[in-house]
Amino acid sequence: MAIQRRRKKINKKAESVARSVKERKRRTTHVEFFSSGSTTINMALSGHPEWGWPRARVSNIVGDGSSGKTLLALEAAFWFLKNAKKIKSKIFPRVKTAKVVYNNGEGVMDFPLTKMYGKKFEKAIDWRRSPTIESVGRDYISEVKDLKRGESLLYIIDSWDQFKSVHDTKISDTTDEDMLKGYKLKKQQFAWKFFSEVCDGIDRNSKDATLIVISQTKQKIGVTFGKKKYRTGGDALNFYTHLVPWIREIEKLKKTRKKEMRIYGIHGEIKVDRSKVSKPFRQSEFRLLFDHGLDNVGSMAVYLKKHKYMKWSGISLKDIHAFSVAVEEQGLEKKLSRKVAKIWLSVEEEFEKELNQRKRKSL
């Protein structure tokens, strides 16, 4: 009996060591992704047609008002919930529970979510509205600490600008002494502490927690050189974020029906301003349709037209809507995605060829 107990103890210890080794092997893989819902956006974010947002990292979506920031975040939530349990990860354990927390500073979400994403989606999201930016931080840290093995979290802050600091004071109630102490910088000071702790929490992929922060752009006045727009949040958002795509509206999509012109969507552009997870400064165009969300096929059609394609797979590209309907009816979305990726990667390969001609550094 004593020998059996000893053997059980040894076996348990061996199993524990094996799990530990397996866990370390998982954590040596650099980073994994989940889809944004758009092939063209995925290519800009990660260089892969099926990869978009970096998993267990901090992303910051920056854009003008009504440029599609919230819709990109909602699409991220939809595809995360749809695919999280299907992803074969080399880093994290198999996902048993996928959770999305959407902390909305405005407190309202007026998009027709059921129409866009189905009945289950709206119920699946944990909708919250914290009173201050400090309480947002506590809420996120608490969620991450409570994460168990097999649980995956996507936490969205919409937007960083909407949440005020608990220290915010009306100017009329502020003294000169308060001004000298920098009372207006309390939110920026909090950002340094918060994002530092966030990165500690996901260090070495120890937690399967992804954070997406939305930021609104502001206009610099009297600027003649450099960027004319900026985002609030201070340098912490520059220092600690792993991916920062800026989005802008190129044009509003318009059509005339029954002698009336209506705007039905946005033709936008995404540009990766900062990336620690893939090549930075990649950009692509996309289409957002009201009451629908990201138009993946339409966005790919725009990409093909940019490369002078008149038709693809026998389908004319003259009318993007007709093209999209035909592609979807024939089930050609994946084939089209592979085509777009092939064109995109062929451009990247041209740059790689030039690098390969250069002498490699070695010890």
Residue 314 has pLDDT above 70, yes or no: yes
Q: Please list, in sequence order, all residues whose beta carbon lies within 8 angstroms of the beta carbon of residue 138, skipping any fewer than 6 positions away.
A: none
Residues 348 and 225 in one domain: no
Q: Write the pLDDT tens digit of every residue in 69-85.
A: 999 999 999 999 999 99
Domain of 33, CATH number, reads 3.40.50.300
Q: For 10-34, what is the mean pLDDT?
A: 55
> Using CA atoms, how far apart are residues 190 and 167, in angstroms rounded to an integer?
10
* pLDDT above 50: residue 25: no
- Integer Cα distance of 156 and 103 in angstroms: 6
- Does residue 282 share a domain with residue 336? no
Last residue of a domain, one of 245, 273, 294: 294
Same domain, 306 and 272: no
Inter-residue contact 42 to 50 (CB < 8 Å): yes
| Tally of structural domains, the chain | 2
| pLDDT-based confidence at residue 179 (cuts at 50, 70, 90) | very low
Closest CA to 265 of 240, 241, 298, 287: 287
> Nearest Cα to 277, choosing from 25, 62, 37, 55?
55
Q: Cα–Cα distance between 229 and 231 in angstroms, integer? A: 7
| pTM of the predicted model as reported, rounded to 2 decimal places | 0.86
Rg (CA), the chain: 23
Domain that holds residue 304: 295-353
Q: Is residue 21 assigned to a domain? A: no
Does 358 fall in a domain? Answer: no
In a domain, 9, yes or no: no
128 shares its domain with 90:
yes
Q: Are residues 88 and 210 in the same domain?
A: yes
Residues 99 and 176 in one domain: yes
| 14 located within any domain | no
- Closest C-alpha to 78, from 34, 46, 109: 34
Outline where the chain has alpha helix (H): 2-28, 39-46, 69-83, 113-117, 119-124, 133-146, 176-181, 186-201, 236-240, 296-306, 320-329, 333-356
pLDDT in tens, 340-349: 999 999 999 9
| Domain co-membership, 216 together with 177 | yes
261/245 same-domain check: yes
Euclidean distance between CA atoms 162 and 214, whole angstroms: 10
Residues 337 and 196 in one domain: no
Amino acid occupying residue 349? E
Same-domain check for residues 244 and 345: no
pLDDT digits (tens, 9 = 90+) for 107-132: 888 899 999 999 999 999 999 999 99
Cα 344 → chain centroid: 20
Q: Are residues 241 and 304 in the same domain?
A: no
Q: Is the peptide bond before 159 cis (omega within 30 degrees of 0)?
A: yes
